[in-house]
């Protein structure tokens, strides 16, 4: 069971092609479900640069699914209550999606976001026919379909795959939980933990969006016990190996924060981005990391 559906800017869905429509096969030829091997899956890391054949993914639990996929899954089950698209709605399309359901009841959906530049009110083309003659062709009230798979929902694995977070963010309510910024309260709690000694010159309000997102990631990961002195000592030893970064450590082992860049260096430390190359023995900092 397959269908090609559009979601409008007002949140309503419209049916474009049902399975019985011959145009659906043409769409499938250009807009197919990707085959993503395990070596091409990369858990979403904002700083990681994907290779051409790689995909980010986020694991979606039942609560996330109920929120993020709510506008789309009902149309996989049935389009009985979904009206066919009419010409006046073409400029209201926000996303096109091809939905499929297997015999086991598992859904697969691929998404193509529609940007304003894809709406064509009127455009004139030169068309060359078989005889070699030129002709004029006019297209009005159409949407350019570039057939890019911007996101892919796989019900069987409960994973949402994508290439660009910024592209798909408007399509899925609640996805910002996977790339959120720390609140001012969280930042205050973070820097005022036993891990840091904060000087009066340090202004947390000067932290950039990148730092706020990294702080949120560290908080949400919950892998570091900031109140454990033994843990702090391990990071002290780690920092000593990369003193070129300018770490300031108090006598009690707390990291001293006098300016924003001090926290940036400590964030790199907490995310274990500092490393030494095996062959040239150069000390480096990684802009992105990936487990192997």
Q: What is the pLDDT of residues 106-154, one digit of tens each?
A: 899 999 999 988 888 778 888 787 777 888 888 777 888 888 999 999 9
Looking at 127, 146, 172, the residue that finishes a domain is: 172
In whole angstroms, how far apart are CA 145 and each of 7, 95, 168, 177, 254? 14, 10, 16, 30, 55
Do 156 and 229 lie in one domain? The reply is no
Average confidence (pLDDT) over 35-63: 92
**146 shares a domain with 34:** yes
Cβ–Cβ < 8 Å for 109, 99: yes
What are the residues whose beta carbons fall under 8 Å from the beta carbon of 151, sequence distance 6 or more?
110, 111, 160, 161, 162, 167, 168, 171, 172
Q: What is residue 97's DSSP assignment?
A: E
Residue 168's pLDDT is 96
Q: Is the dihedral of CA 75, 81, 84, 88 positive or negative?
A: negative
**Which of 129, 145, 172 is the last residue in one of the domains?**
172
Q: Collapse the DSSP code of 287 into the 3-class scheme (helix H, G, I; strand E, B; otherwise coil) and give the result.
A: coil
Domain of 275? 184-285
Q: Are residues 207 and 281 in the same domain?
A: yes
Output the average pLDDT for the chain: 91
Model confidence pLDDT, tens digit, residues 176-231: 989 989 999 999 999 999 999 999 999 999 999 989 999 998 998 888 999 899 99
> Which of 172, 199, 217 is the last residue before a domain boundary?
172
Q: What does pTM read for this prediction?
A: 0.79
Q: Which helix (H) or strand (E) holds 191?
A: helix 184-191
Give the three-state DSSP class for 289. Answer: coil
Let me know whether 86 and 198 are in one domain. no
* Three-state secondary structure call for residue 157: coil
Same domain? For 45 and 86 the reply is: yes
Please check whether residue 90 is in contact with residue 145, taking contact to mean a CB–CB distance below 8 angstroms: no
């Amino acid at each position: 069971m397959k269908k090609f559906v559009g979601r409008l800017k007002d949140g309503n869905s419209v049916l474009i092609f049902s399975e019985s429509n011959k145009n659906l096969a043409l769409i499938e030829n250009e807009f197919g479900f990707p085959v993503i091997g395990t070596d091409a899956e990369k858990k979403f890391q904002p700083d990681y640069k994907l290779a051409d054949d790689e995909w980010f993914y986020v694991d979606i639990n039942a609560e996330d699914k109920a929120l993020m996929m709510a506008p789309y899954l009902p149309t996989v089950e049935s389009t009985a209550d979904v009206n066919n698209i009419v010409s006046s709605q073409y400029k209201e399309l926000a996303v096109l999606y091809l939905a499929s359901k297997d015999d086991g009841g598992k859904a697969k959906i691929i998404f193509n976001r529609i940007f304003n530049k894809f709406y064509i009110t009127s455009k004139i083309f030169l068309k060359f026919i078989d005889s070699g003659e030129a002709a004029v062709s006019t297209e009005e009230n159409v949407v350019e379909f570039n057939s890019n798979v911007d996101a892919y929902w796989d019900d069987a694995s409960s994973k949402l795959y994508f290439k660009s977070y910024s592209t798909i963010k408007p399509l899925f309510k609640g996805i910002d939980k996977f790339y959120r910024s720390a609140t001012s309260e969280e930042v205050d709690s973070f820097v005022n933990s036993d891990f840091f000694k904060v000087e009066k010159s340090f202004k947390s309000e000067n932290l950039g969006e990148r730092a706020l997102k990294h702080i949120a990631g560290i908080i949400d990961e919950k892998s570091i016990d900031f109140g454990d002195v033994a843990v702090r000592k391990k990071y002290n030893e780690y920092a000593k190996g990369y003193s070129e970064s300018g770490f300031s450590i108090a006598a009690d082992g707390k990291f001293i924060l006098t300016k924003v860049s001090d926290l940036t260096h400590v964030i790199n430390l907490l995310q274990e981005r500092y490393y030494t190359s095996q062959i040239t023995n150069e000390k480096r900092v990684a802009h992105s990391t990936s487990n192997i």
